[in-house]
Copies of this chain bind each other. A is one copy, B any other.
């Protein structure tokens, strides 16, 4: 099934991923041309059930599982585990994001599988990693946002800590998992050997705190405050989200030219030589006054009008858009990042393709996320070579 002219043509992935982290990694592999065999428990992976819609499908599941084949497999049965071993023998990659140790305890972890296929790359995604004192802490996007420091710097100084509304930790760690697998594939060409690749959600968050950790360093240990929509280190002005008549607009001045342009855009050239706003350092000293000047302008206009003016004057700016606008974004649709497809269970929906764009490569045509076990026959029959009778028996015995 793998397409020619695609970067990952010929790579086969046994995908035990669930919810967001694992499935995002393998979605991008599928879109780059790999063959993905999604292995699910007989009841389906948890995301199928989370927000039950229609006949058991959920919208996030459909977003993340295009171009995969689904097989069911009961890993609690001996025969089921043997089937997994057979798949691992033939695969290039096995990916899972169970809690640490789950597959080891079943006897089908890294040790066992690399023994039967030394070329296998085994990718493990977890909250805190496979070692260390916090290894067994339960991890979800929300709890990792708490413990990794994200919440402490999100929101307003007078309010409580807040999570980022996007489940970015799941996806950030998911793409790290993808990245780790690719790195191991690069190495395998030279060595002929696979590796155990590990990604911990918490560890992928740490670098994203760079600006705020910088504040911690320069403040000699004072804990960085929540700064709302202002700069995390309170070191740039203007840098904020300003109210428009009908919404909000984000505006930043990164270099002095931006501020000068903004004064022109606002019709406030009278402030051109005002010493309070002479440069970024002075504007930071007069942060509230600087923001007030911008706001007095933005609140008289519509969001899109402000964006049009700032764009014309080359000032970094953007409208705060809601998700309906984002889902219908003409730019991402024109570029093929978003696609309108007909999904047999959900109807006409929008799904993402891949943010990884390989110029000149072939394009994988989207096939909708599979029904649970939709490809049992072709994978267990065609790939593993079981007879129709054997497959029927496996079904009867609750193995698949």
Contacts and interface: CB of A to CB of B under 8 A. Distances in A.
B254 A140 contact: yes
Given A132-B334, A150-B166, A224-B323, A252 B208 contact: no
Looking at chain A's contact residues, the main secondary structure is mixed
A394 interface: no
A161 B248 contact: yes
A176 to B, nearest CB: 5
Q: How many copies does the complex hold?
A: 2
Contacts of A352: 203, 206-207
Tier of interface size on chain A = 35 or more
Given A143-B250, A204-B355, A357-B129, A153 B217 contact: no
Given A60-B210, A203-B332, A322 B223 contact: yes
A332 to B, nearest CB: 6
Interface stretch (A51-59, A262-270, A375-383): A51-59
A198 to B, nearest CB: 4
Contact of A143 (B147, B223, B226, B318): B318
Interface string A356-370: 111111000000000
A155 interface: yes
A196 interface: yes
Given A146-B318, A171-B207, A323-B149, A360 B162 contact: no
A44 interface: no
Interface string A195-239: 111111011111111111110111001011011110011010001
Contacts of A10: 190
Contact of A229 (B24, B60, B162, B180): B162
Contacts of A221: 324
Shortest beta-carbon contacts, A-B, top 6 = A182-B182, A153-B165, A164-B164, A143-B318, A154-B165, A146-B250
Interface of A: 7-11, 20, 24, 27-28, 32, 50-51, 53, 58-60, 63-64, 110, 128-129, 131-134, 137-140, 142-156, 159-168, 170-173, 175-176, 178-180, 182-187, 189-190, 195-200, 202-214, 216-218, 221, 223-224, 226-229, 232-233, 235, 239, 241, 243, 248-250, 252, 254, 311, 314-327, 330-332, 334-335, 337-338, 346, 349, 352, 355-361
